[in-house]
Structure 1
Protein backbone atom coordinates (compact mmCIF):
# COMPACT_ATOMS: atom_id res chain seq x y z
CA UNK A 1 0.00 0.00 0.00
CA UNK A 2 2.88 2.37 0.82
CA UNK A 3 4.36 1.82 -2.65
CA UNK A 4 0.97 2.47 -4.26
CA UNK A 5 0.66 5.79 -2.41
CA UNK A 6 4.22 6.79 -3.34
CA UNK A 7 3.57 5.84 -6.98
CA UNK A 8 0.44 8.01 -7.04
CA UNK A 9 2.30 10.93 -5.48
CA UNK A 10 5.11 10.53 -8.03
CA UNK A 11 2.63 10.35 -10.89
CA UNK A 12 0.91 13.52 -9.60
CA UNK A 13 4.31 15.21 -9.44
CA UNK A 14 4.95 14.22 -13.05
CA UNK A 15 1.58 15.61 -14.11
CA UNK A 16 2.19 18.85 -12.21
CA UNK A 17 5.65 19.04 -13.75
CA UNK A 18 4.26 18.71 -17.26
CA UNK A 19 1.61 21.34 -16.50
CA UNK A 20 4.32 23.63 -15.13
CA UNK A 21 6.41 23.05 -18.24
CA UNK A 22 3.48 24.04 -20.47
CA UNK A 23 2.91 27.17 -18.37
CA UNK A 24 6.63 27.93 -18.58
CA UNK A 25 6.54 27.72 -22.38
CA UNK A 26 3.47 29.98 -22.46
CA UNK A 27 5.13 32.54 -20.16
CA UNK A 28 8.33 32.64 -22.21
CA UNK A 29 6.40 32.79 -25.49
CA UNK A 30 4.31 35.68 -24.14
CA UNK A 31 7.46 37.45 -23.03
CA UNK A 32 9.03 37.08 -26.49
CA UNK A 33 5.78 38.17 -28.16
CA UNK A 34 5.56 41.20 -25.89
CA UNK A 35 9.16 42.16 -26.47
CA UNK A 36 9.36 41.77 -30.24
CA UNK A 37 5.78 42.25 -31.45
CA UNK A 38 4.19 44.60 -28.94
CA UNK A 39 7.47 46.35 -28.12
CA UNK A 40 6.36 46.18 -24.48
CA UNK A 41 8.11 43.50 -22.42
CA UNK A 42 5.88 42.04 -19.70
CA UNK A 43 8.20 42.08 -16.67
CA UNK A 44 6.17 39.52 -14.73
CA UNK A 45 6.64 36.83 -17.40
CA UNK A 46 10.35 36.41 -16.69
CA UNK A 47 9.81 36.17 -12.93
CA UNK A 48 7.01 33.66 -13.44
CA UNK A 49 9.18 31.61 -15.80
CA UNK A 50 12.00 31.51 -13.26
CA UNK A 51 9.59 30.42 -10.53
CA UNK A 52 8.08 27.72 -12.75
CA UNK A 53 11.56 26.39 -13.56
CA UNK A 54 12.09 25.78 -9.84
CA UNK A 55 8.79 23.92 -9.48
CA UNK A 56 9.29 21.78 -12.60
CA UNK A 57 12.90 20.96 -11.75
CA UNK A 58 12.29 20.08 -8.10
CA UNK A 59 9.26 17.91 -8.81
CA UNK A 60 11.26 16.11 -11.50
CA UNK A 61 14.19 15.72 -9.10
CA UNK A 62 12.00 14.05 -6.47
CA UNK A 63 10.44 11.69 -9.01
CA UNK A 64 13.92 10.93 -10.34
CA UNK A 65 14.92 9.78 -6.87
CA UNK A 66 11.86 7.51 -6.63
CA UNK A 67 12.30 6.06 -10.10
CA UNK A 68 16.07 5.64 -9.51
CA UNK A 69 16.78 7.91 -12.45
CA UNK A 70 20.07 9.19 -11.05
CA UNK A 71 22.93 7.57 -12.94
CA UNK A 72 25.23 7.57 -9.90
CA UNK A 73 22.73 5.64 -7.82
CA UNK A 74 22.39 2.89 -10.37
CA UNK A 75 26.01 2.73 -11.44
CA UNK A 76 27.60 2.31 -8.02
CA UNK A 77 25.44 -0.69 -7.14
CA UNK A 78 26.46 -2.46 -10.33
CA UNK A 79 30.18 -1.93 -9.74
CA UNK A 80 30.40 -3.79 -6.43
CA UNK A 81 30.32 -7.57 -5.95
CA UNK A 82 26.90 -9.23 -5.65
CA UNK A 83 27.29 -9.73 -1.88
CA UNK A 84 27.77 -5.96 -1.38
CA UNK A 85 24.93 -4.76 -3.58
CA UNK A 86 22.22 -4.77 -0.91
CA UNK A 87 24.32 -2.91 1.72
CA UNK A 88 25.53 -0.41 -0.90
CA UNK A 89 21.96 0.18 -2.08
CA UNK A 90 20.86 0.75 1.51
CA UNK A 91 23.76 3.17 2.00
CA UNK A 92 22.94 5.07 -1.18
CA UNK A 93 19.28 5.46 -0.27
CA UNK A 94 20.15 6.36 3.33
CA UNK A 95 22.49 9.10 2.11
CA UNK A 96 19.80 10.28 -0.31
CA UNK A 97 17.34 10.36 2.60
CA UNK A 98 19.81 12.42 4.64
CA UNK A 99 20.21 14.81 1.71
CA UNK A 100 16.42 15.18 1.50
CA UNK A 101 16.17 15.92 5.22
CA UNK A 102 18.92 18.56 5.03
CA UNK A 103 17.42 20.07 1.89
CA UNK A 104 13.91 20.29 3.37
CA UNK A 105 15.15 21.65 6.71
CA UNK A 106 17.49 24.29 5.33
CA UNK A 107 15.09 25.42 2.63
CA UNK A 108 12.31 25.66 5.22
CA UNK A 109 14.57 27.99 7.20
CA UNK A 110 15.18 30.05 4.06
CA UNK A 111 11.43 30.05 3.39
CA UNK A 112 10.86 31.51 6.84
CA UNK A 113 13.65 34.08 6.55
CA UNK A 114 12.41 35.62 3.28
CA UNK A 115 8.67 35.49 3.98
CA UNK A 116 8.40 39.25 4.38
CA UNK A 117 10.18 40.05 1.10
CA UNK A 118 8.20 40.37 -2.11
CA UNK A 119 8.91 39.44 -5.72
CA UNK A 120 8.10 42.90 -7.10
CA UNK A 121 6.90 41.82 -10.54
CA UNK A 122 4.60 39.07 -9.24
CA UNK A 123 3.47 40.70 -5.96
CA UNK A 124 3.98 37.48 -4.03
CA UNK A 125 6.37 36.55 -1.23
CA UNK A 126 9.95 35.50 -2.00
CA UNK A 127 9.16 32.42 0.06
CA UNK A 128 7.34 30.95 -2.95
CA UNK A 129 10.80 30.27 -4.40
CA UNK A 130 11.53 27.86 -1.53
CA UNK A 131 8.25 25.93 -1.52
CA UNK A 132 9.35 23.52 -4.30
CA UNK A 133 12.69 22.94 -2.57
CA UNK A 134 11.04 22.07 0.75
CA UNK A 135 8.47 19.90 -1.03
CA UNK A 136 11.15 18.11 -3.05
CA UNK A 137 13.21 17.50 0.08
CA UNK A 138 10.20 15.94 1.83
CA UNK A 139 9.40 13.82 -1.23
CA UNK A 140 13.02 12.67 -1.48
CA UNK A 141 12.79 11.52 2.14
CA UNK A 142 9.51 9.71 1.46
CA UNK A 143 10.78 8.04 -1.69
CA UNK A 144 14.08 7.07 -0.04
CA UNK A 145 12.17 5.40 2.78
CA UNK A 146 10.14 3.57 0.14
CA UNK A 147 13.35 2.28 -1.46
CA UNK A 148 14.88 1.25 1.87
CA UNK A 149 11.73 -0.67 2.84
CA UNK A 150 11.65 -2.34 -0.60
CA UNK A 151 15.32 -3.36 -0.37
CA UNK A 152 14.85 -4.83 3.11
CA UNK A 153 11.78 -6.77 1.92
CA UNK A 154 13.55 -7.92 -1.25
CA UNK A 155 11.15 -6.04 -3.51
CA UNK A 156 11.63 -3.57 -6.32
CA UNK A 157 10.12 -0.11 -6.70
CA UNK A 158 8.43 0.18 -10.07
CA UNK A 159 8.74 3.57 -11.83
CA UNK A 160 5.69 5.83 -11.58
CA UNK A 161 5.50 6.43 -15.31
CA UNK A 162 4.76 2.78 -16.12
Structure 2
Protein backbone atom coordinates (compact mmCIF):
# COMPACT_ATOMS: atom_id res chain seq x y z
CA UNK A 1 0.00 0.00 0.00
CA UNK A 2 2.95 2.29 0.70
CA UNK A 3 4.24 1.74 -2.85
CA UNK A 4 0.87 2.67 -4.35
CA UNK A 5 0.78 5.84 -2.23
CA UNK A 6 4.29 6.88 -3.33
CA UNK A 7 3.43 6.23 -6.98
CA UNK A 8 0.18 8.19 -6.66
CA UNK A 9 2.07 11.05 -4.97
CA UNK A 10 4.54 11.13 -7.85
CA UNK A 11 1.79 11.02 -10.48
CA UNK A 12 -0.20 13.79 -8.79
CA UNK A 13 2.83 16.03 -8.36
CA UNK A 14 3.70 15.58 -12.05
CA UNK A 15 0.12 16.35 -13.09
CA UNK A 16 0.06 19.47 -10.90
CA UNK A 17 3.37 20.74 -12.26
CA UNK A 18 2.23 20.08 -15.83
CA UNK A 19 -1.12 21.79 -15.31
CA UNK A 20 0.53 24.78 -13.66
CA UNK A 21 3.01 25.09 -16.52
CA UNK A 22 0.20 24.86 -19.07
CA UNK A 23 -1.78 27.47 -17.13
CA UNK A 24 1.16 29.90 -17.18
CA UNK A 25 1.68 29.40 -20.92
CA UNK A 26 -2.04 29.78 -21.70
CA UNK A 27 -2.48 32.96 -19.67
CA UNK A 28 0.71 34.45 -21.11
CA UNK A 29 -0.52 33.63 -24.62
CA UNK A 30 -3.92 35.18 -23.84
CA UNK A 31 -2.32 38.41 -22.61
CA UNK A 32 0.07 38.52 -25.58
CA UNK A 33 -2.64 38.01 -28.19
CA UNK A 34 -4.98 40.50 -26.52
CA UNK A 35 -2.57 43.38 -25.88
CA UNK A 36 0.21 42.91 -28.42
CA UNK A 37 -1.59 41.41 -31.41
CA UNK A 38 -4.95 43.10 -30.68
CA UNK A 39 -6.60 39.82 -31.64
CA UNK A 40 -7.50 37.81 -28.50
CA UNK A 41 -7.07 34.07 -28.65
CA UNK A 42 -10.44 32.32 -28.69
CA UNK A 43 -9.43 29.11 -26.96
CA UNK A 44 -6.83 30.06 -24.35
CA UNK A 45 -9.17 31.65 -21.79
CA UNK A 46 -11.47 28.65 -21.65
CA UNK A 47 -8.63 26.13 -21.68
CA UNK A 48 -6.93 28.08 -18.86
CA UNK A 49 -10.17 27.80 -16.87
CA UNK A 50 -10.17 24.02 -17.37
CA UNK A 51 -6.50 23.82 -16.34
CA UNK A 52 -7.15 25.91 -13.24
CA UNK A 53 -10.09 23.79 -12.07
CA UNK A 54 -8.17 20.59 -12.65
CA UNK A 55 -5.08 22.02 -10.92
CA UNK A 56 -7.09 23.03 -7.84
CA UNK A 57 -8.76 19.64 -7.47
CA UNK A 58 -5.66 17.55 -8.20
CA UNK A 59 -3.67 19.85 -5.90
CA UNK A 60 -6.22 19.40 -3.11
CA UNK A 61 -6.05 15.62 -3.53
CA UNK A 62 -2.25 15.77 -3.46
CA UNK A 63 -2.30 17.79 -0.24
CA UNK A 64 -4.56 15.13 1.32
CA UNK A 65 -1.86 12.59 0.49
CA UNK A 66 0.75 14.76 2.17
CA UNK A 67 -1.54 15.27 5.19
CA UNK A 68 -0.96 18.97 4.76
CA UNK A 69 -4.38 20.59 4.93
CA UNK A 70 -4.94 23.33 7.48
CA UNK A 71 -6.42 22.16 10.74
CA UNK A 72 -6.97 23.33 14.27
CA UNK A 73 -4.74 21.10 16.36
CA UNK A 74 -4.84 22.50 19.89
CA UNK A 75 -7.83 20.35 20.94
CA UNK A 76 -6.42 17.23 19.35
CA UNK A 77 -2.98 17.85 20.88
CA UNK A 78 -4.51 18.03 24.36
CA UNK A 79 -6.01 14.54 24.04
CA UNK A 80 -4.35 11.34 25.23
CA UNK A 81 -2.74 9.19 22.53
CA UNK A 82 -5.55 6.59 22.23
CA UNK A 83 -8.25 9.24 22.04
CA UNK A 84 -6.19 11.20 19.51
CA UNK A 85 -6.01 8.06 17.35
CA UNK A 86 -9.79 7.66 17.60
CA UNK A 87 -10.38 11.29 16.68
CA UNK A 88 -8.07 11.03 13.66
CA UNK A 89 -9.83 7.89 12.43
CA UNK A 90 -13.20 9.63 12.89
CA UNK A 91 -11.95 12.63 10.90
CA UNK A 92 -10.72 10.34 8.10
CA UNK A 93 -14.13 8.61 8.03
CA UNK A 94 -15.87 11.99 7.79
CA UNK A 95 -13.63 12.95 4.88
CA UNK A 96 -14.41 9.63 3.18
CA UNK A 97 -18.15 10.30 3.58
CA UNK A 98 -17.80 13.85 2.19
CA UNK A 99 -15.65 12.68 -0.72
CA UNK A 100 -18.00 9.81 -1.55
CA UNK A 101 -21.11 12.01 -1.44
CA UNK A 102 -19.90 15.28 -2.90
CA UNK A 103 -16.88 14.55 -5.08
CA UNK A 104 -17.64 11.02 -6.24
CA UNK A 105 -21.44 10.81 -6.37
CA UNK A 106 -22.09 14.50 -7.06
CA UNK A 107 -19.18 14.63 -9.48
CA UNK A 108 -20.48 11.66 -11.46
CA UNK A 109 -23.96 13.20 -11.58
CA UNK A 110 -22.79 16.61 -12.80
CA UNK A 111 -20.35 15.03 -15.26
CA UNK A 112 -23.15 12.98 -16.82
CA UNK A 113 -25.36 16.06 -17.07
CA UNK A 114 -22.60 18.21 -18.56
CA UNK A 115 -21.43 15.62 -21.07
CA UNK A 116 -24.06 16.70 -23.60
CA UNK A 117 -23.24 20.40 -23.27
CA UNK A 118 -20.47 21.67 -25.55
CA UNK A 119 -18.02 24.37 -24.54
CA UNK A 120 -18.23 27.56 -26.56
CA UNK A 121 -14.60 28.03 -27.54
CA UNK A 122 -13.14 24.52 -27.46
CA UNK A 123 -16.15 22.66 -28.87
CA UNK A 124 -15.63 19.75 -26.49
CA UNK A 125 -18.08 18.40 -23.88
CA UNK A 126 -18.16 20.43 -20.66
CA UNK A 127 -18.17 17.06 -18.91
CA UNK A 128 -14.38 17.07 -19.25
CA UNK A 129 -14.25 20.02 -16.85
CA UNK A 130 -16.31 18.16 -14.25
CA UNK A 131 -14.74 14.73 -14.78
CA UNK A 132 -11.94 15.65 -12.41
CA UNK A 133 -14.35 15.67 -9.44
CA UNK A 134 -15.01 11.90 -9.25
CA UNK A 135 -11.37 11.17 -10.11
CA UNK A 136 -10.17 13.29 -7.19
CA UNK A 137 -12.90 11.84 -4.98
CA UNK A 138 -11.47 8.36 -5.52
CA UNK A 139 -7.94 9.64 -4.84
CA UNK A 140 -8.97 11.38 -1.59
CA UNK A 141 -10.82 8.24 -0.45
CA UNK A 142 -7.71 6.17 -1.17
CA UNK A 143 -5.56 8.54 0.89
CA UNK A 144 -8.03 8.43 3.79
CA UNK A 145 -8.10 4.62 3.74
CA UNK A 146 -4.30 4.66 3.64
CA UNK A 147 -4.21 7.04 6.63
CA UNK A 148 -6.55 4.79 8.62
CA UNK A 149 -4.40 1.77 7.68
CA UNK A 150 -1.28 3.64 8.79
CA UNK A 151 -2.83 4.69 12.11
CA UNK A 152 -4.02 1.16 12.90
CA UNK A 153 -0.81 -0.54 11.76
CA UNK A 154 1.55 1.74 13.70
CA UNK A 155 -0.85 2.37 16.60
CA UNK A 156 0.07 6.04 16.62
CA UNK A 157 -1.54 9.23 15.34
CA UNK A 158 -0.64 10.66 11.95
CA UNK A 159 2.16 13.15 11.85
CA UNK A 160 0.84 16.50 10.75
CA UNK A 161 2.85 18.39 8.16
> Would you call these one fold, judging by a TM-score over 0.5?
yes
Spell out the pairing of 1:140-151 with structure 2 (5 A cutoff): 140-151=140-151
Structure 1 position 73, deviation (Å)? 6.9
- Closer, same or farther in 2 for the Cα pair 1:17/1:138, shift >3 Å? same
Q: Unpaired segments of 5 or more residues in structure 2? A: none
- Whether the 8 Å CA contact 1:68–1:74 is kept in 2: the answer is no
- Closer, same or farther in 2 for the Cα pair 1:32/1:50, shift >3 Å? same
Aligned-partner Cα distance in 2 for 1:23–1:126: 19
Give runs of ≥4 in structure 1 deviating > 4 Å: 73-76, 155-159
SS at 1:134 equivalent: helix
Note the alpha carbon deviations across 1:4-61, whole angstroms, 9 max, x for none: 1122112111111100000000000000000000000112111001000111111111
Spell out the pairing of 1:113-128 with structure 2 (5 A cutoff): 113-128=113-128
Spell out the pairing of 1:1-162 with structure 2 (5 A cutoff): 2-72=1-71, 77-102=76-101, 103-154=103-154
Q: What is the number of equivalent residue pairs in this alignment? A: 158
- Closer, same or farther in 2 for the Cα pair 1:88/1:8, shift >3 Å? same
